[in-house]
Amino acid sequence: MDLAPVYYDVEALRENEFPLSKEFTYLNHASISPLPQRAEKAAHEAITHLANNAFAFWGEQVVPIFNQFLEEGRRYLNASETNEICPITSTSAGLNAVANAIQWREGDQVILCDVEFPSNVYPWLAQERHGVEVKIVPAQHGTLTVELLEREVTSRTRLIAVSAVQFFTGAKANLHALGEFCRQHDILFAVDAIQAIGHMPINVEAMHIDILASGGQKSLMALTGVGLLYVRRSAADKMIPSSIGPNATEDWEFWLHYNPKPLEGAHRFMSGTFNVPGLFTVVESLRLFEELGREHIDAYTTALSTLAIEKLVEKGFTVLTPYASQYHGPIVTFQYAT
């Protein structure tokens, strides 16, 4: 196959942002990504500022980068408002915060498939102590599909959880179709996006996503210990966080008021302080994705992975990743029997 048109200078990108590519070809983004040079520089400058100007760190660094993080996250996901965006430390932390805040009813049901990474399984399994049934169904085409949901959903189904791109096979979920199904059936739709942000466009409004979490170290190309949580305002305002700190409350500026009423939207999940250097890396990487064009990145990386699948099959490898480009992301998994 011919590669999709390239809308940006790949060689210049490697030269300017990823110096490790001068020495070898890096293929391990599904585990941990290299930082773009601009992200490394921004994080280093933040740390240097703290070392030399600690008295001004909050006003000159923390507040501005926090607001930039909210706006860049909102823009990238097409969220309605910035208070639907919240910094987190990891995908697990984000999904746990939400799972523990939903006001479950005895007999509520969560549905997910049997190839999910544990970060998108354990937070839901933990709700069994509240009488929630977690139904794990065999994957179809390597992921969760509407066809599966049509067979499995009941009147008790409260939430559907899926990875936008599966960590092991690279199978890509049809988020538009799943989101529309959930909207029609009044079911919460939760997405683990750690293998997708940066690789493919995600529009939480068009896809009817209610909850989305992504750690920073994979396709987001940021530091570990930082990430992004989205919770739709209408869903968030019905949740009661199990972990709360002053930054997540209405009276966060009045320390002796002791008013635990949570902030509106996803900001109710900001129970602690922020990984400031990490926020800088998220912001810079999101800006890089916007400069390159999300659709352009998606077309190019999908074309590369499709080409890899073709060549692996030609050489006798067994490819576990779905072949058709609409069914796979940039991850390619294969095996070879000697």
- Judging by DSSP bridges, how do beta strands 318-319 and 227-231 pair with one another? unpaired
CA distances from 236 to 22, 171, 180, 182, 210 (A): 45, 29, 19, 17, 9
* CA gap 127, 102 in Å, rounded: 10
Q: What is the pLDDT of residues 248-282, one digit of tens each?
A: 998 878 888 898 899 999 999 998 889 999 999 99
The alpha-carbon radius of gyration of the chain (Å, integer) is 20
Beta bridge partners of 319: 334
Q: What is the pLDDT of residue 272?
A: 85
- pLDDT class of 148 with cuts at 50, 70, 90: very high
Residue 291, phi then psi, degrees to nearest 5: -60, -45
Q: What is the pLDDT of residues 37-87, one digit of tens each?
A: 999 999 999 999 999 999 888 888 999 999 999 999 999 999 999 999 999
Which numeric CATH code is attached to 47-289?
Answer: 3.40.640.10
Q: Is 184 exposed, middle or buried (0-12, 13-18, 19+ CB in 10 A)?
A: exposed
Written as one string, the DSSP assignment of 145-162 is -HHHHHHH--TTEEEEEE
> Domain coordinates of the chain in residue numbers?
47-289
Q: What is the pLDDT of residues 288-313, one digit of tens each?
A: 999 999 999 999 999 999 999 999 99
> Within 10 Å of residue 251's Cβ, how many Cβ atoms?
14
Q: What is the pLDDT of residues 215-238, one digit of tens each?
A: 999 999 999 999 999 999 999 999
Structure tokens at 161: 């959880």
Cβ proximity of 132 and 124 under 8 Å? yes
Q: What is the pTM of this model?
A: 0.95
* CA gap 138, 171 in Å, rounded: 14
